[in-house]
Amino acid sequence: MAQETTPRPEVLVVNKGVGGNSTRDGLARFERDVIETRPDHLILYFGMNDAGNSKKLVPLDEYVRNMQTMIDRARAAGVKTIVLVTLNPVIIDYWASRHPTHPNKTQAHFDAYDAAVRALAEKNGLPLADLRALVNERGGAAMDAGCLIRNEANSRAKDGVHLTAEGYRLMAGIFPPIFKDRIKPGQTVVCFGDSITYGSGIKGAGTACGATYPAWLWLHLNRMVGATDREAPLPPPTP
Gap between the Cα atoms of 143 and 160, Å rounded = 9
- Give the tens place of pLDDT for each residue, 144-198: 999 999 999 999 999 999 999 999 999 999 999 999 999 999 999 999 999 999 9
Taking the model in full, what pTM does it have? Answer: 0.95
**For the chain, what is the total number of helices (H) and then of strands (E)?**
11, 5
| Side-by-side strand order, sheet with 81-85 | 12-17, 188-193, 41-45, 81-85, 128-129
Among 194, 45, 193, 217, smallest CA distance to 131 is for 45
- Give the tens place of pLDDT for each residue, 55-69: 999 999 999 999 999
Handedness of CA 230, 37, 199, 184 (dihedral sign): negative
Gap between the Cα atoms of 179 and 81, Å rounded = 9
Among 72, 114, 87, smallest CA distance to 197 is for 87
Gap between the Cα atoms of 26 and 49, Å rounded = 11
